Amino acid sequence: MKFQQNFSQQQQQKQMQKLAMTQQLQQSLQVLQYNSEQLVDYIENKALENPLIEVIPPSITPDYGRGSNSWQGENNFINQIPETNISLFEYLINQVHLNYRDTYLRKLVLFLVEYIDVNGYLKLSLEEAQAKTGADTIQMLDALTLIQQLDPAGVGARNLQECLMLQTERDNNAPNLAYIVLEEGFDDLVNRQWEKIAKKFGVQLSDIQKVFDYIQTLSPAPGSGFNHQTELYVVPDLRVKVIDDEIKVSSNRKGQPEIKLQEGYFERMKQQADQATLDYLKEKQQEFDWLKRTMLQRGDTILKVGTAIIERQTGFFLEASRPIQALTMKEIAEQLEIHESTVSRSVNGKYLETDFGIFELKTFFTNKIASSNNGADQSADSVKQQLKKVIEEENKNRPYSDQKLADLLKADGAQISRRTVTKYREALGIPTSSKRKRYDD
C-alpha cells in the first residue's frame, strides 16, 4: 500500500480589522466606569506614583445628600461631618448603668445584653444563660424583665410575637384588644384567620382589622435603627435645568478634581540633564498627558450619553407625573454609534441633578412591554404604575386576584401575563389579594 502526499505553498494577503486591547485602553475604560468617589481615589493614587501630577480639589464642594432634593453651592463643613451613631449595645449598657444599682442582678443584666443581636433580639435561651452563670430561673427571668423595660421598646424579645407584645404593652394608644390578640391569637392573626379570632373574643371583624392595622405600625426589629451608616454624599456628573420647557444639560466639571503639571519641579529635574532622569521625566509627562485626556474624554462621554438619554426621556423632566419611557442601552448605543458596554460604563454609578431630586442615569432604562391594542409600547415602569393605581382603586373588601389584574391591564393596553403581574406586585411591595382584604365597617 502506497501513500501519496502532495504539498503546496501559497502566499495570500488578508486585510483584517482588529482592536488591540492595550493597557492604556483598558485603563481608559476603567476610568469611565469609576463613579466620582472612585475617580478621586484613582487620581490621588496616580499622583502618589507620579511627582509631576498635582491634584486640585473641586472648587465647589457639593453638599449632596443621597436621596436629597437640594444642592448647596457653598462649602458646608458642619453638615458634611457625619453624626456619630451609638451602637445598640452601647445604648443598652449606658441605660443599665444609669438606671440599675450595682447588684448581682445587674451583673446578670449586663451578661444578657452581650447576647442581644443588632435587631434587638436575645439570642441566648434562659436555660443556656443559667448554665453559663449559675443563676437560678427566677434570677434570670428578673434580669430579662429589666432588659425588656429598656429602650427601644421591644428590645430583649426572644421572638417576633414577644417583641410586638412588649411594644404594645408600653403604648397607651394601642387598641384594647391588641395585646390579648397577640398573646392568644398570634398564629391565627398571621395566617389571617380573622373570623376565628373574632369568634373567640366575641368582637367584629372590623375590630380585628384595627388591631392588624396597629400592629403594622410596630417595629419587627427595634434595634435596626442603630449601627447603620449610609453613604452621605453623591456628586452628580450632570446637571439638568428646565427653563421655559427647554431642557438644558451641563457637565458638573467643578464637582470633579482637576490635575495639572508640576512645571517648577519638571524644569528643575530637567536641569540635571542625565539620560536616566530625562527618560523618567518623559515617561511621567506622557502619563500625565494620558490621564488629562482620559479625564476629559470620560466627562465628554458621560455628557454625550446623558444628553441622549434625556432627549428620549423628556416627559420625565417636563411632566409632573415623571413618566419613564421604554428605553434600552442598545438603543442609545446605536444612536451614538458606540458599544453597548460603553453606555453601561457611562451610566452605572453616575448621577444627574435636577430641581426635584438626584437620579442615577441607569434608572432611565427600562424594558418594553408590548401593547395589546396596537398602541405604542410601554415601559415596565409605566406598567408598574398602572398596576399600583388599579390596586389602589380596587374594592378593599374584594381585592383583585393577579389574574384579574392581568386582565384589567390588558384591557387598558398592556400585554402582561399573570406571572409578570405577580413579579411587579412583589417588586412594589404589594401583598397578595388575600392579604389586601380589609374588614372595615
For 34-75, the pLDDT digits (tens) are: 888 888 888 888 888 888 888 887 765 444 444 433 334 433
Residues 326 and 243 grouped into a single domain: yes
The rounded distance, in Å, linking the Cα atoms of 217 and 163 is 13
Residue 22: the pLDDT is 67
Please tell me the distance from the alpha carbon of residue 110 to that of residue 97, in angstroms, as a whole number: 9
pLDDT of residue 366: 80
Q: Clarify whether residues 294 and 260 are in a common domain.
A: yes
pLDDT given at position 61? 46
Q: Which of 317, 341, 366 is the last residue of a domain?
A: 366
- What's the CA gap between 294 and 282, in Å, rounded? 18
The answer to the question of residue 2 being in a domain is: no
Asked whether residue 115 falls in the same domain as residue 194, the answer is yes
Q: Which domain holds residue 114?
A: 88-215
With respect to residue 242, please indicate whether it lies within any of the assigned structural domains: yes
Tell whether 93 and 209 lie within a shared domain. Answer: yes
Which of 312, 149, 307, 318 has the alpha carbon at shortest distance from 237?
307
pLDDT tens profile 68-122:
333 344 334 333 434 446 789 999 999 999 888 889 999 999 999 999 999 999 9
Quote the pLDDT of residue 78.
Answer: 37
Residue 271 lies in a domain: yes
**Domain identity same for 335 and 361:** yes
Residue-level pLDDT at 379: 72
Residues 106 and 40 in one domain: no
Instruction: List the chain residues with pLDDT less than 70.
Output: 1-22, 59-85, 227-233, 273, 368-378, 441
The total domain count for the chain is 3
- Closest to 359 in 3D by CA, of 384, 381, 391: 381
Has residue 50 been placed in a domain? Answer: yes
Asked if residue 244 is part of any domain, the answer here is: yes
pLDDT of residue 373: 56
Q: Are residues 315 and 417 in the same domain?
A: no
Q: Which three cell numbers stand for residue 351?
A: 448621577
User: Contact 343/331 with Cβ under 8 angstroms?
Assistant: no
Does residue 326 contact residue 379 with C-beta atoms inside 8 Å? yes
Contact between residue 205 and residue 197 where contact means Cβ atoms under 8 Å apart: no
Residue ending a domain, among 320, 339, 366, is 366
Q: Report phi then psi at 121, rounded to 5.
A: -95, 145
Considering only CA atoms, which of 200, 201, 146, 213 is closest in space to residue 173? 213
- Same domain, residue pair 154 and 186: yes
Question: CA nearest 110: which of 151, 102, 134?
Answer: 102
Q: Which residues contact 6 (CB under 8 A, 6 or more apart)?
A: none
Whether 202 and 141 share a structural domain: yes
- Dihedral over Cα of 129, 132, 138, 139: its sign: negative
Tell me the residue type at 21: M
Statement to judge: residues 76 and 96 lie in one domain = no
pLDDT at 228: 54
pLDDT at 245 (0 to 100):
86
Residues 346 and 389 in one domain: no
Same-domain pairing of 243 and 313: yes
Beta strands in 9-112 (DSSP E): 53-56
Burial of 64 (0-12, 13-18, 19+ CB in 10 A): buried
**The domain boundary residue, chosen from 366, 388, 414:** 366
Residue 260, in any domain of the structure: yes
Q: Which three cell numbers stand for residue 211?
A: 388591631
Q: Does residue 386 form part of some domain? A: yes
Asked if the structure places residue 175 within a domain, the reply is yes
